Amino acid sequence: MTETAAQSREINEHDELIAGTRVFWRSAEPPEGVAPTLYVHGVPTNSDDWTPFLERTGGVALDLPGFGRSEKAQTFEYTIGGYNTFLQAFIGRLGWDRFSLVVHDWGGLALVTAQELHERLDRLVIVNSVPLLPGYRWHRIARGWRTPLLGEVMMGTMTRSLARWFSKESRPSGEPWPDEMLDSVWRHFDHGTQRAILRLYRSAPPGALELAGSWLSTITAPTLVLWGERDPYIPVRFAEAYAAHLPNAELRLLADAGHWPWLDRDDTVAIACDFLTGDTDA
């Protein structure tokens, strides 16, 4: 049994002002000789998503501004560009000369950062992420959020029970999110997070997504595109498109897995973490 498989790493919590925004993140020491990994969550979750990954690979998982325990200031720029500026400052604070990156859902906005810092990128894992690619059309919930007034009504009338009901469509089994995940999301789903979500979605018409991925081909780091095949929000063809745009990419499709594939396939965490650590024997 390898070190990463055998050892559950101690996770520490941090709260600090970064580039004018107070941010919460978790960290754990990576295995010796392995570049640290930055994990970037999507909507509407937070760094809680990444705890089982951190336990295996170490690295850092943050709550993006507007989400979780991080600050939700009205003045923050909740756009792809705004988050890119913040993430570069955050990586600078960590002092990493070289790092790996794992993104999921809207965490895919960090691929802009990866394009700009491509010479420092060690490895990349893309899990069911928003396509910075041509041809994507927002799913129906996102289209609602992108519509003025309708989006505000959708947010304002959301309840925990409704959130639980909506979560069923993200999983092939039709089961809702586990209670722990639902509690984590609902605990932080306040007006600040709702505002961040609406601003982010409204800042990103399909053309803006495509433009943000204009330089994906500059990312030459070994890349794993890891995708739940039964994602109702982002079809498999965008996993294939990511793999085609990235010159050193491997595509791995997960049957019977949805938008959060680690909820449906227990091996998702091991597949991603073994790729990050270069461990093929776990």
Residues, the chain? 282
For residue range 88-111, what is the model confidence (pLDDT) as tens digits?
999 999 999 999 999 999 999 999
Per-residue pLDDT at 1 exceeds 80: no
pLDDT tens digits, 194-218: 999 999 999 999 999 999 999 999 9
Q: Which residue matches tokens 């107070």?
A: 22
CA 129 to chain centre: 7
Average pLDDT, the chain: 95
Q: What is the pLDDT of residues 131-165, one digit of tens each?
A: 999 999 999 999 999 999 999 999 999 999 999 99
* pLDDT for the residue numbered 281: 43
How confident is the model over 255-281, as pLDDT tens digits? Answer: 999 999 999 999 999 999 999 998 754
**Secondary structure in 3-state letters for 93-120:** HHCCCCEEEEEEEHHHHHHHHHHHCHHH
- Paired with 225 in beta bridges are 126, 251
Given a cut of 80, is residue 125 above it in pLDDT?
yes
What are the backbone angles phi and psi of residue 6, rounded to the nearest 5°?
-80, -30
Close Cβ partners of 29 (under 8 Å, ≥ 6 residues apart): 9, 10, 58
Identify the structural domains of the chain with CATH numbers, from first to last: 3-277 (3.40.50.1820)
Nearest to 168 by CA among 41, 51, 266, 258: 258
Q: Each residue of 177-188: pLDDT tens digit?
A: 999 999 999 999
Q: Lowest-pLDDT range, 3-12, 171-180, 188-197, 218-227?
A: 3-12
Of 121, 125, 120, 94, nearest to 19 by C-alpha is 94
Does residue 175 register a pLDDT over 80?
A: yes
Q: What is the model's pLDDT at position 4?
A: 43
C-alpha to C-alpha distance for 64 and 6, rounded to whole angstroms: 30
Q: What are 11-43's pLDDT values in tens digits?
A: 999 999 999 999 999 999 999 999 999 999 999
* pLDDT confidence band for 5 (50 / 70 / 90): very low
pLDDT of residue 282: 36
pLDDT digits (tens, 9 = 90+) for 53-81: 999 999 999 999 999 999 999 999 999 99
